[in-house]
Every structure is written in structure tokens, then in C-alpha cells.
Amino acid sequence: MQSNLEHIGAVEMAVTEDMTAMALRLHRQGQKVALATVMATWGSAPRPIGAQMLICEDGRFFGSVSGGCVEGAVVLEAAEALATGQCRRLRYGVADVDAFAVGLACGGEIELVVEPVGQGQGMDPAVLERLVEAQSARKPIALRLDLSSWQRELISGQAELSSVQPTGGLAGDVFTYVQTVPLRLVIIGAVHIAQYLAPMAQMAGYLVTIIDPRDSFASPARFDGHQVIVDWPEEALARLSLDRRTALVTLTHDPKMDTPALQHAVASEAFYIGALGSSRTHAKRRQSMLDLGVSAAAFDRIQGPVGLNIGSRTPAEIALSILAAMTVKLRGQAHV
């Protein structure tokens, strides 16, 4: 039986995954930190179930649980949790006037849990390690928290996860937090467009990998904060899993790099595949790939020319059009 988590495309929690890894890193550095997690929402709550915020002992915080409405109050509650080692279950109403201030049409309510890391009732660092390991391995995992006893149970494996609701949530005194496989974008070609597309995709919640065999192009200095692999695409992709949470885009205009990458992609579960080039170039690409044994149905998974037709001309505009096309595909919407 397929896990419900495989159908979670409409629910993203990339910020949560970042907060989990950051919490573990800061704890290992000796800092006192707490995680606040959205357990339930009503009305027009700004952030979804599973959204997280990381609070440090010195008052710094990262992430968001309400888009700005209650973060100040949560920081104060987290300070108390860090001082006592006790978890906090909180519920807030976001008034209409406050909701308007952060761009919402009307207010809502959210229920949160605040958990100090490695203290008292709080999150065991070993649990965080398991969550971070699952994220790195691109495997879904869930954490069940009993709010009456503060006991935690990790849920992994296809059979166990099949009974978990895709979004997780609150049922009485039991909260189930679902950590999904993070979105990933693989870019073939460390070119100018990639320098815009990589940070745009990262801000949209993607982990970004750039592949290019040319040292002068695939320089970490040009793609700070992103994984850069200096290798031929067919070699690099053989070591990656292009799963259904992965998009791949070729940007080199060089068939020696683009074609092997696209062959690999169309045989994978990647949810979006795009190739830079004109309609004429794409027609030539189609014939060459059919000659290599790629089926017409498989080739038709490739969007070429890549991106939404928004009249883009500059590298930044082309990158924007590509990210827009990826979003359309991810969300299952018709092209505009």
C-alpha cells in the first residue's frame, strides 16, 4: 500500500526541515535552543501545520509560526521553557486587525508546542539526529508527541507511515509532526542563469545541486551555499536519486551534457524536467533522443523551451520563468 506521505505535494515544510537541522547544530555547539511547532490552525492562520520557529536563549529566533503576529509572545514563552526545561502548549488568536497588518484578509487561531532541546521534558537530541538523518537520506519520517506525558515516538518505514495523515496534526493530546522529503532542484550547467535560479529556488524551499564538469564554471564561489558537483552529468546523476520530489533543468546548450542528463531524468520519477533552448533546438533534441531509444512518451515529459512564457529575456527573468513552471507542475495547475 502506498504511504499517504507520497501524496503530500500540496503541503511543504522546507522551513521546518531547516529549523530541525539548525536546532541540532546549535545544541551541539553548546547553545540552549527551543523549537516551536504549529500543531493546529483555524481560520486564516498564516502558517501551516508543521511550520517551525527556532528560539535561542539570547532571544534570537529563526523561522516563523504566524507570519509576525505572535512571534514576540512565543519568544517569551520559549525563554521560560529554556529556564525550566518544561514544554509549553500554547494557543493564540490572530485578531483581524493584526492579520491585516501582515497581509491577511481575516484572522485565525493557531495552537503551538514549544520544546526545549536536550532539557527536562524537551526534545532528546537523539530524536533530532534521526530527523536530520532522514532528511539527508531523503526519507519521510514522522514524530508522534504525547502532550500529556511528553513522550515521543518516531515513525518510519512504509507500512507504519501509511497510517499517518499526510499533513500530520493534533488529535486530542497527541500531535503528529510529519517531516517530508525536501524538494530538490538539480541544475545541469553552472551558467549565468543558474546563478539566479539557484537562490530563487532555495528561497522557494528547494535544496539545490549544480552539476558541471568545467572547473571554471562550477566554482563554489559562484554558487555559495549550494552543492556543486564538478563532474559529467551522467556520472553525477548515477549517484543521485531523482525521486518525485526532484526537479531537473538543463541549461548548458551543449548536447554532450544536456542529452545524457535528460536521458537519465526521463527514466526517473522527477516531477519536472526542463531544457533550455529554442523550439527549433528542442525539435532537434527530440529527434536525437528518439534515435537513442528514448520513447516519445518519455521525451514528452521534458518542457522545452523551459519555463513559462512570460516574455523573459534576461538571465534573472528566465530563472523566474523556470521556477514558475516548476511551481505550476508541483501544484498540479494548468499552464498560464
**Across the 336 residues of the chain, what is the mean pLDDT of every consecutive 10-residue run?**
36 51 93 93 74 91 79 90 95 65 59 94 94 88 93 83 72 88 92 95 91 90 90 93 93 93 94 94 93 94 92 94 94 64
Contact by Cβ (8 Å): 331, 10: yes
Residue 68 sits in the same domain as residue 202? no
Q: Which residues pair with 262 in a beta bridge?
A: none
Contact by Cβ (8 Å): 222, 195: yes
For residue 283, being part of any structural domain is answered with yes
pLDDT at residue 130 in the model: 93
Our count of domains for the chain comes to: 2
For residue 336, being part of any structural domain is answered with no
DSSP secondary structure code for residue 299 in this structure: H
Alpha carbons 267 and 17: distance in angstroms, whole number:
28
pLDDT at residue 219 in the model: 87
For residue 79, being part of any structural domain is answered with yes
Contact by Cβ (8 Å): 20, 128: yes
Which strands make up the sheet holding 183-188, listed edge to edge? 227-229, 206-211, 183-188, 246-250, 272-275, 302-303
The residue from 146, 179, 212 where one domain ends is 179
The residue from 147, 179, 211 where one domain ends is 179
Residue 76 sits in the same domain as residue 212? no
Residue 128 sits in the same domain as residue 221? no
Which strands make up the sheet holding 169-171, listed edge to edge? 152-155, 141-146, 174-179, 169-171
For residue 252, being part of any structural domain is answered with yes
Q: What are the grid coordinates assigned to 1, written together?
A: 500500500
Residue 166 sits in the same domain as residue 203? no
Cell 527514466: give the residue.
267
Look at phi and psi of residue 59 and say left if phi exceeds 0, alpha if psi is from -120 to 50, else beta: left
Residue 171 sits in the same domain as residue 210? no
Residue 275 sits in the same domain as residue 141? no
pLDDT at residue 3 in the model: 40
Contact by Cβ (8 Å): 50, 38: yes
For residue 260, being part of any structural domain is answered with yes
Which strands make up the sheet holding 108-116, listed edge to edge? 61-63, 52-56, 33-43, 108-116, 88-94
Q: Domain range for residue 56? A: 4-179
3-state SS, 78-133, equals HHHHHHHCCCEEEEEEECHHHHHHCCCCCCEEEEEEEEEECCCCCECHHHHHHHHH
For residue 85, being part of any structural domain is answered with yes
SS3 318: helix
pLDDT at residue 140 in the model: 84
The residue from 123, 154, 179 where one domain ends is 179
